A = this chain, B = another copy of it.
Amino acid sequence: MADLEVLDALPTKQIWDGVVERVVEGERMGLAIVELEPGAVVPEHRHDNEQLGFVISGSVTFTLGGETKQLGPGGTWRILGGTPHEVVAGPEGAVVADIFAPPRADWSELPAPPAREPLWPV
């Protein structure tokens, strides 16, 4: 991967059912552009990695620390390490950015989905 790279040249990984990401891997963090199909569910989970992110397009319903909020473009989250969180994509799906520090070492073995064009930018 080059240090300046277009989105569709990034490695692609399948994270959950209906959830695919393209990743920029740094040393201290990893940046994922994540596509969620309409209604895709990321069930409640937690990880030691800190996670920050925001909605690029579409919408999600985010549950974090006992709060549930619907977020459209520009809606942000801050998930300190170990905090349970859950996401459900809206009826039109969503594209979001997620950043993890440290990088998600547990993602190194994830499979690549069939090749496809990014859903965003349109």
Residues of A within 8 A of B (CB): 1-8, 10, 24-31, 33, 50, 52-54, 56, 62, 64-65, 67, 69, 71-81, 97, 99, 101-102, 118, 120-121
Contacts and interface: CB of A to CB of B under 8 A. Distances in A.
Q: How many identical subunits does the complex contain?
A: 2
Nearest to A29: B101
13 contacts: A4-B64, A4-B75, A4-B77, A5-B78, A7-B76, A10-B76, A26-B78, A28-B50, A29-B101, A30-B52, A31-B99, A52-B99, A73-B120
Contacts of A99: 29, 31, 52, 99
In the complex, the 5 A-B pairs of residues with the closest C-beta atoms, listed nearest first: A7-B74, A73-B121, A28-B101, A31-B52, A4-B69
